[in-house]
Structure formats: structure tokens, C-alpha cells
Chains A and B, each alone.
Chain A
Amino acid sequence: MIQTKNRQKKAITLTVNGNLHKLNIGDQPHEISPSYTLAQTLRETLGLTGTKVGCDQGACGSCTVIMDGKPVLSCMTLAIECHGSKITTIEGLADSITGKLHPVQDSFVKHSAFQCGFCTPGIIMASKSLLDRDPSPDPHHVKEALSGHYCRCISHYQVVEAVMDAADKGGQADE
């Protein structure tokens, strides 16, 4: 008979935008419940409200963050299962000291590739992740990479232009 360690983790560590956080699991105000999603934890516990929750059911892409190099939906991810992960959110893209925008962010501003802007952080994270993997995608790849992102204002056309433009510039923001 195998000895079962039926114990819940007492704490997790997350590296978010380069900062290491230790979070205790529990039901006290400063702790996170095992049922907390990553989105909830980023927004409520760590105050990183740049990650947006749209549908909260994994169907709109607005909560997308980059976890261990891949875009994932933070609303459908339990924080307790992210122990040891490296997470990048929209707050982690610009240079933290100079404030210089990431080339994708810069391109989005230049193209006004947003209207209400609520879906934008998720779209930017997915776009950034795409360019990290494939620095010169064609528009079809961009659309496919963003196919899980809902935008009701229809910023799509300007988004595709912005991502293509950022790719053309080889990931360098204009000075």
C-alpha cells in the first residue's frame, strides 16, 4: 500500500514579471484559496489589474498571460497549480526602469490597434508570444495565433497591421 500524502500545498511561489512572490494557501485575507484562479491571484492578490477577465470561461482570451513561455488563459488556471512558474503579464512588457514600451506595445499605440482596450492586454500577450516563437509571421499566422481573442469593437484589422509592423521592425521599437 502506497503511503498517500493527502496534503494540500501550504504555499506557492510565483515569479511574476521577474518578481518572486510567495503566497500562502488558505482562507485568510492575505492568503489565496486553492480555488483561486491565476487571474484572480494576479488581479486581487498581487494588484496586477492589467490582466482582464472578460468571459471568465476560457472563451474570450482577454485574461491571456505568458506562463513558462506559452500564452495561457489565467481565468482557467488555478494559481495553486502555478507553483514555480514564470509568468509575464502586460505590466511586465515595458522596461520597468525606463518605461520604454515593448515593440509590440509601441506598434499597437502607433496603429491605434484598440478601441475600448479591454481585450488589448490579452491580445498583446498572445502577439508577443507569437513573435517570440516566430519573428516573421505572415498575416495568416497572426490571425491564427489570435483566433481565441474576442474583440467586439473590431480592432482586428488594426491589430494585424500592428503585429505585422512590429515583426517587420524585427522587434525593435522606434526611437
Chain B
Amino acid sequence: MKTFKHFDAESVDHVLAILARYHGKTALMAGGTDLIGVLKSEILPEYPKIIINLKTIAGMNTIKMVDKECRIGATARLADIAASGLIQKIFPALAAAAESVGSPELRNMGTLGGNLCQDTRCWYYRYPDKMGGRIPCYRKGKGPCHAVKGENRYHAIIGGKKCYAVCPSDMAIALAALDARVKIIGPGGSRLVPILDFYNVLCTILNPDEMVTEVRIPEPGKNTVQAFYKNRPREAVDFAVVSVAVRLERTGDVCKDACIILGAVAPVPYRAVAAEEAVRGRRLHEIHAADAAKAAVKDARPLSQNAYKIEIAKTLVKRALLSF
């Protein structure tokens, strides 16, 4: 790996000061399981001059309830989130999402913030530089999205525009269904952004002088149920082909409210509003689950090789809804 300067962050303010001083020449490192791969393969034309280690910021890895809100620090490890009694009890969908990431070793290293901010897995984007040169593309600021006319089995079926790479984060999908917000701190202070607004087509809304410090999840109502389903080619060390996170509020077997989020189908976590409508106010019998499944993918416009993801998305929505 090419070298860089390495700073241990002492505090959030310290990070902000470094970001401000070395504007755009830095990379934030938490677990490193994504960033180190990006650096080793030299997939990006710009190589960071400075790596800032966030793990040294005291207290940024905690999981706690504060005022009916769960706060998870950005450097909390995925393994700790998956194993947390609190998370398992109150946010089982999030525990399941955390448990589905990578492998036990990767979960021991990877963090919540890192999972949310990881770069896409698009194989054109991640083509290693030393195998003939990195591949310029729209996402890198130059050229088309090669997936459109190329190999696109894992790319977006919904909402692709100019770049069809999908958001690889499993945690984002579960968190979106749980109505979580991301705490971002920058030079102008802090803000809380709903997960769905945290992403844009080409990554996240984070400015180069900002960082994620925490995620806040409201405690769900008493009659809430939730589930996370992930389809992937391999039962470990794999990203989602399609994932679904569902949160339902119900009275008896009638669904009062629903939040249905699809992962890996779009450049950002996709809220299937039509599917939510299809189940809202109705009994959860198979027929409605099937309606919701259909509605979930109504906006799908698959590329040449990924229409199969539509079928998988429908299946996952149906199975998730019928799991309660």
C-alpha cells in the first residue's frame, strides 16, 4: 500500500481541525475494512495524504438509550451491535443486519459509521489500478457508467441515473426502516439527517469537512414488529443482491403503519412507498403481502442482466411481511 501520514484523532474537534487544514486530502478511517481495500487497489485517482484514525476518539463506540432514543456511536463495532442485548431486544432488524455483514472477523473490525460510509462495490469502479489501470467512470468524475451496457447483474434496478452502482450498506437499510437519523458534525455545528436523506446517487451528503459521529434510533412503539432479510450469493463474506428491512405497527393482525426499505436495488436505500400503502390498514394475509411485493418494485427499470433482482425483491418483501 502506498504510504500516507497517519493521525490518531483525539476528539471530534480534532478531526474537524485536521479536515479543515488538509481540505480534501484526507480519509477518515474507522474499521478500515473498506478503506484499506480502496487504498490497496488504488481505485481512485486521488490518493489521500492523511489518514485520520477515528477509533481513538473516546466514547464514540457506545450503544445506549437516552430519552427513548438509542444512540450508537459511529465507531461501535458491528459485532458489538449484533451482540448487544439492547439492540437484539428493541431493534432485532438492526441486529440481523449487523450479523449479516461480512464475516465474524470483519464484524469485529467494521464499525457502524464505516458501514454507512463505505464506498460502492461496483466492479468497474473498484477495478484495481495495477491490472492495466483503474477504469474512469461517471462516479469518478470522468466517463460513462460502464454497467449500463456492460456487466450489471448486481447494479441498480430502480433510480439509476448516470451511475447505477448500488449502496452496499446493510446497516443503512435496517436503520432507514427504523427511522434512524445520522448525526453529522462539521465546522458549522451538528445536524441530524434521516438515513434516507444521508445518501445521494454518488455516495453520501457528507461534505469533505464533516464527519458522522452517531446514529440515533427512536424507540419503536409497543406494537411494532421488524425484520431484515438479505439475499446474497454466499452466506458469508457477501454483499446483498437485494435486502429488505420492514417495520410494521399493528393492531391485532391489521397493519396500522409500515416502513419498507429495499437495499441494493438502487443507488440509495429505496423506500417502497407504494408497498407501504399496499399493506397499511390491511390484514397481513398472503394476498396483501403479494400486492405489497408487486408494488415494491413498480418503479423498477432493470438493466440488461438484472431483471432477476425484481423477482428476488418481491420474494423478500413477501417473506418479510409474512414473517410476523
A residues adjacent to B (C-beta < 8 A): 1-2, 4-9, 25, 27, 33-37, 56-59, 61, 64, 70-73, 75-78, 80-81, 126, 144-145, 147-149
Main secondary structure of the interface of A (DSSP, over half): loop
Say how far A86's CB is from chain B's closest CB, in angstroms: 15
Instruction: Chain B residues near A5: list those with CB within 8 A.
Output: 10, 14
Main secondary structure of the interface of B (DSSP, over half): mixed
Once the chains are docked, how many angstroms separate the CA of A57 from the CA of B106?
11
Once the chains are docked, how many angstroms separate the CA of A121 from the CA of B8?
31
Given contacts A57-B41, A78-B32, A147-B103, 14 further A-B contacts (CB under 8 A): A2-B13, A4-B14, A8-B6, A36-B1, A61-B103, A70-B79, A76-B109, A77-B32, A77-B109, A80-B53, A81-B29, A145-B104, A148-B103, A148-B236
B6 near A72 with CB under 8 A, answer no
A34 near B5 with CB under 8 A, answer yes
Instruction: Chain B residues near A76: list those with CB within 8 A.
Output: 32-33, 36-37, 109
B11 near A2 with CB under 8 A, answer yes
Once the chains are docked, how many angstroms separate the CA of A75 from the CA of B32?
10
- A58: which of B1, B33, B39, B236 is its contact (CB, 8 Å)? B33
Once the chains are docked, how many angstroms separate the CA of A72 from the CA of B32?
11
Once the chains are docked, how many angstroms separate the CA of A20 from the CA of B188?
44
- A148: which of B5, B10, B53, B105 is its contact (CB, 8 Å)? B105
Instruction: Report if B40 contacts A (CB, 8 A).
Output: yes
1/0 per position for B4-32, CB-CB distance to A under 8 A?
Answer: 11111011011001100100000001001
A6 near B11 with CB under 8 A, answer no
Instruction: Write the chain B residue with the least CB distance to A27.
Output: B3
In the complex, 29 of the A-B residue pairs with CB atoms within 8 angstroms, ordered by the A residue number, are A2-B14, A2-B17, A4-B17, A6-B7, A8-B7, A9-B8, A27-B3, A34-B4, A34-B5, A34-B6, A35-B6, A35-B39, A36-B1, A37-B1, A57-B37, A57-B40, A72-B109, A73-B33, A73-B105, A77-B32, A81-B29, A81-B55, A144-B104, A145-B104, A147-B235, A148-B103, A148-B104, A148-B105, A148-B236
Say how far A12's CB is from chain B's closest CB, in angstroms: 11
Instruction: Write the chain B residue with the least CB distance to A68.
Output: B108
Instruction: Chain A residues near B3: list those with CB within 8 A.
Output: 27, 33-35
Instruction: Write the chain A residue with the least CB distance to B37.
Output: A57
Instruction: Chain A residues near B79: list those with CB within 8 A.
Output: 70
Instruction: Chain B residues near A58: list those with CB within 8 A.
Output: 33, 36-37, 102, 105-106
Instruction: Report if B2 contacts A (CB, 8 A).
Output: yes
Say how far A43's CB is from chain B's closest CB, in angstroms: 14
Once the chains are docked, how many angstroms separate the CA of A145 from the CA of B235?
12
Instruction: Write the chain A residue with the least CB distance to B6.
Output: A34
Instruction: Report if B167 contacts A (CB, 8 A).
Output: no
